[in-house]
């Protein structure tokens, strides 16, 4: 395997140590806290912007939904601000969303992104939100992914770090590796960053049996936060775009996700960022982590696939950051227009 040298720009912060150092030393307006630990015992850092409105929880989401009054659970009519929860890198090599999130955090903290660019539209929208961000939700895989970027790399490098290599030298193929859970860690020459140190793909965890610490952490955070919207930042070797809507959504929630996806697609096309030229309108048939987080919090679950920028679908670091900032802006704009009220 031959890795290409591609210079990592200073505005591209995805390295675990650099992410944690930034959150520990450079946050002034928001707050940083350790939200939990990974299966490998690594700290999971979180960032919060805006005060939390602690409204008492007097009913379960299930009960409120069945009563036809989900607002009794979300308490949305009583809240002064909308709430947005974003997490990245639940698969440890999918760190393009992390780069975008660190630029968003710097924008909130200092009025410019990590490139020194102002974004008044996004800042103005953010004033209406409480925002909670977990930049590296699964740090075990991130540590195993010994690169800070896949931009300019070929698919062999992508395969090696993302999905891994068995001891016999054969690749651990996607999606076939989903047939085993957890994967036998000791049988790997290189365990892919897709998985935590227990060999579990947290996107398909044993949610009702013995869920992984990373999953428990996210469930606890969103249950406590009850955000209006949850965004999961993934990445793939193909074009960027919104993933299929969660399988558990109502028709109203499905329509809302499709409207957001259309707005994001249009905006990114206008910016010349060549996203998917189609919308993924059909709901996912798989039961995924975002379904669980929806049930735990009532937050509209969104999944966005950033591009890795490999040679088969080239993207620059600049373009990937721009994709992310436009994504965050369009979601916040949609929330301001609708308050995410019709998702039930």
Reported as a single tens digit per residue, the pLDDT across 66-125 is 999 999 999 999 999 999 999 999 999 999 999 999 999 999 999 999 999 999 999 999
| Residue-level pLDDT at 277 | 79
| Residue-level pLDDT at 275 | 83
Q: Is the pLDDT of residue 220 over 90?
A: yes
Q: Is the pLDDT of residue 24 over 90?
A: yes
Average pLDDT over residues 142-149: 97
Q: What is the 3-state secondary structure (H, E, C) of 260-288?
A: HHHHHHHHHHHCCCCCCCCCCCCCCCCCC
Q: What is the mean pLDDT of the chain?
A: 96
Q: Is the pLDDT of residue 280 over 90?
A: no
**Residue 86 belongs to what H/E stretch?**
strand 82-88
Half-sphere exposure of 136 toward its Cβ, with a 13 Å CA cutoff? Answer: 32
Give 164's strand partners. Answer: 191
Question: Is the backbone peptide bond immediately before 182 cis, with ω within 30 degrees of 0?
Answer: yes
**C-alpha closest to that of 45 among 57, 53, 35:** 35
Distance from C-alpha of 227 to C-alpha of 232, rounded to nearest angstrom: 13
Start-to-end Cα distance in the chain: 49
- Enter the pTM of the model: 0.97
DSSP 41: S
What domains lie within the chain, and their CATH numbers? 16-338 (3.40.630.10)
């Amino acid at each position: 395997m031959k890795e290409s040298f591609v210079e990592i720009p200073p505005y591209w912060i995805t390295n675990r140590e650099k992410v944690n150092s930034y959150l520990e030393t450079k946050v002034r307006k928001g707050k940083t806290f350790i939200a939990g630990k990974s299966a490998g015992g690594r700290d999971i850092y979180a960032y919060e912007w805006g005060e939390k409105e602690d409204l008492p929880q007097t009913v379960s989401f299930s009960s409120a939904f069945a009563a036809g009054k989900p607002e009794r659970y979300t308490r949305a009519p009583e809240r002064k601000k909308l709430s947005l929860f974003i997490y990245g890198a639940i698969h440890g090599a999918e760190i393009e969303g992390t780069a975008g999130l660190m630029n968003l955090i710097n924008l909130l903290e200092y009025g410019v992104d990590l490139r020194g660019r102002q974004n008044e539209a996004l800042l103005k929208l953010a004033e209406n939100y409480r925002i909670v961000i977990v930049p590296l939700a699964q740090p075990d895989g991130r540590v195993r992914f010994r690169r800070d970027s896949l931009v300019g790399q070929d698919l062999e490098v992508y395969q090696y770090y993302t999905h891994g290599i068995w001891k016999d030298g054969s690749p651990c193929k996607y999606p076939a590796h989903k047939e085993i859970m957890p994967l036998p860690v000791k049988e790997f020459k290189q365990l892919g960053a897709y998985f935590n140190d227990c060999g579990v793909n947290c996107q398909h965890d044993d949610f009702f049996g013995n869920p992984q610490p990373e999953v428990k952490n996210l469930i606890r955070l969103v249950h406590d936060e009850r955000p209006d919207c949850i965004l999961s930042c993934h990445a793939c070797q193909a074009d960027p775009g919104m993933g299929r809507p969660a399988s558990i959504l109502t028709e109203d929630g499905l329509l809302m996700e499709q409207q957001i996806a259309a707005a994001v697609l249009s905006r990114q096309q206008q910016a010349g960022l060549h996203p998917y030229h189609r919308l993924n309108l059909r709901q996912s048939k798989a039961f995924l982590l975002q379904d669980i987080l929806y049930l735990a919090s009532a937050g509209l679950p969104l999944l966005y696939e950033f591009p890795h920028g490999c040679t088969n679908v080239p993207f620059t670091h600049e373009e990937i950051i721009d994709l992310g900032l436009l994504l965050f802006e369009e979601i916040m704009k949609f929330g301001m227009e609708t308050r995410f009220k019709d998702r039930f």
